[in-house]
Amino acid sequence: MANTSQNIFLTKKEKLRCNSCGNAIPFGQAFVAESEDSKGTCFACSPFVSYTLLAPGNVALTRRSKKHSTLCGVLFSWNQRRKRFERKGQYVEAEAIVKAEKECAADEASRATKNMKAAEIRTIQDKIYIQEFGKAIRAYYPNCPLNREFEIAKHACEKYSGRVGRSASAKQFDSHMIDLAVEAHIRHVETNYDSQFGKGKRKKEIRLDVGGTIKRILVSWK
């Protein structure tokens, strides 16, 4: 409802007076006016006396509470070092802040729902990906043990999670990619590769050790 804002200055002047009650407004107290050189009132004579100060920092809450409040008074305080007035928050109706907070909370809930849905979609996409990748592996290695193709595909999918586009079409699985996945699987599952580390052997040596076994199994699965 408040389309415009009223300025409220924590004044840096010594001799301001309220245009309504005539009282002096001491240095550092709130002066409600367009500028410090305009005519204005003390805070007590202003409509903001019953309002609530909302601290700055939350852009959505600031915008929404202004929208729901009859009036909006922006509080400024003087920054001596920078020689300028700076925003210190806004006076709005307490009810407006409550409404704005509710709206922000509702947004948060819908954001959380969106994220959950995205995660579900990703899970389904992963499953499709594994299925399709598995089929492609089976086509290249028809003699590989039953259901092993999906184990290989699942591992590859986890390994490359987020790095490969998940639009699972058979075309995206080229033979090189399949060979690498199958080879890695054989290395870890069908050889003693993993248990040889930490015994003084270098990775290169260990790879060489299991190389023959891997090749033999690869050929037998073809």
Task: Give the interface segment with Zn ion, choosing from 20-28, 116-124, 141-149, 152-160 (CB under 5 A).
Answer: 20-28
Distance from C-alpha of 130 to C-alpha of 107, rounded to nearest angstrom? 35
Q: Amino acid identity, residue 41?
A: T
Q: What is the smallest separation between the CB atom of 41 and Zn ion, expressed in angstroms?
A: 5
Q: What is the smallest separation between the CB atom of 26 and Zn ion, expressed in angstroms?
A: 12
- Residue with smaller CB distance to Zn ion, 49 or 106: 49
Site membership for Zn ion, residue 20 (CB under 5 A): yes
- Residue 47 DSSP one-character state: G
Question: 191 has which bridge partners?
Answer: none
Q: Amino acid identity, residue 12?
A: K
Distance from C-alpha of 38 to C-alpha of 102, rounded to nearest angstrom? 37
- Residue with smaller CB distance to Zn ion, 24 or 94: 24
CA torsion through residues 29, 33, 39, 40, sign = negative
Distance from C-alpha of 25 to C-alpha of 31, rounded to nearest angstrom? 7
The one among 2, 8, 18, 137 contacting Zn ion by CB under 5 A: 18
Q: What is the smallest separation between the CB atom of 20 and Zn ion, expressed in angstroms?
A: 5
- Residue with smaller CB distance to Zn ion, 47 or 56: 47
> What Cα–Cα distance (Å) separates residue 170 from each residue in 27, 73, 95, 124, 165?
76, 62, 58, 17, 13
x/- contact string, 32-51, with Zn ion (CB under 5 A)?
A: ---------xx--x------
Q: What is the smallest separation between the CB atom of 21 and Zn ion, expressed in angstroms?
A: 3
Judged by the rule CB under 5 A, the positions of this chain that interact with Zn ion are 18, 20-21, 41-42, 45
